[in-house]
Amino acid sequence: MSCFQRPYGYKIGNMNSAQKMSTCDSLAVGPIRLDGLVLLAPMSGVSDLGMRRAALRFGAALAFSEMVAAETYLEGDSEASIRAEGEGVCPHAVQIVGRAPRAMAETARRVEGAGAAIIDINMGCPARRVSGALAGAALMRDLDHAERLASAVVDAVSVPVTLKMRLGWDAATINAPELARRAERAGVRMVTVHARTRAQFYEGRADWTAARAVVEAVGLPVIVNGDCAGLEDARAMLAQSGARGVMVGRAALGAPWIVGAISRALAAGGPLRPPPLEARREAAVEHLDWLLGKLGSRAGLRHARKHLAAYAAAAPAPLRRELVTTDDPAHARALLGRAFDGEAMEDAA
């Protein structure tokens, strides 16, 4: 499997070799050392392969796939298979979700065989279709079963297994520290905590301080997630939680470069420095081209619209409307390129 090594027409960072070594050494997933402290979150319908490629080329330490439903993947569903793809991504990290240990273990084996270097278990998704099937965040209501599931996945593969969770099901059952201890006992190599309960979904503010109890409960690297919109948030998240790294989610929609930019700024102790407009334009157009090539013109353009709207957030409103309503891929590509013209984009995130 080939990996993107060249950034989008600019130097990824200005750290000296000592800073790079310090950053790399500060976070590892088992034997895999990461160059940076900031990761791209797994986001259903968002963190497709095109977005992950862009985030990694801009310097993200790690980029997780959209969650892959185990049962659906094993049935040969094409959408699930596309979500698990990782061509051009190093290290390739796939998140899987499910309830049955046997199906989760077999899915882990297959995605490892297809090139996954890290497998993440979803125990944090709050969506009703997931938790209603007693998967995702619902596993936090049955820690015995959660531990059995984690053990089954770890035992099935030779690559590192990680786990993403919430603080608990609700405010009355904050059990993330206990789940983290059980995950460590099962052989999981890193845990990520979205600092909300399942009952909160995405409402209110993430409680980064609450993640400190997880950090103190285990010897594993702990990543804190939730409401990271920029550099100052990342610094506050690390300070308040004591976590080893930060995960960025929705803030990267339309700005896959921001993950690497935050990581470099944390390492250098300096301000957030966006890449040039031309580099952002190239990444956005390449992302659109990947979607069109993978899904076809009609489905690819439909899937791309959330990304296109975000990439063009700072463009004039008429251009944005035309961009997200056109059915002509060539016209969409031209409009997307134009969306990065002008000084307005210099401040876009």
Render 159-190 in DSSP notation, one character per residue.
S-EEEEEESBSSTT-B-HHHHHHHHHHHT--E
Active site residue 228: no
End-to-end CA distance of the chain: 31
Determine the Cα–Cα distance for residues 68 and 121; give it in Å rounded to an integer: 10
Render 48-109 in DSSP notation, one character per residue.
-HHHHHHHHHTT-SEEEEEEEEHHHHHTT-HHHHHHT--TB-SS-EEEEE-S-HHHHHHHHH
Tell me if residue 33 falls in helix, strand or coil: strand
Determine the Cα–Cα distance for residues 132 and 154; give it in Å rounded to an integer: 25
Length of the chain: 349
Is the CB of residue 224 less than 8 Å from the CB of residue 176? no
Residue with tokens 């700072």: 314
The H-or-E segment that residue 247 falls in is strand 245-248
Q: Which residues of 87-105 are buried (b: 16+ CB within 10 A; e: fewer)?
A: ebbbbbbbbbbbbbbebbb
Which residues, including other chains, have CB under 8 Å from residue 39's CB and lie 6 or more apart? 60, 61, 62, 63, 64, 192, 223, 245, 246, 247, 248, 259
Q: Of 3, 24, 90, 125, which residue is the catalytic one?
A: 125
Catalytic residue positions?
125
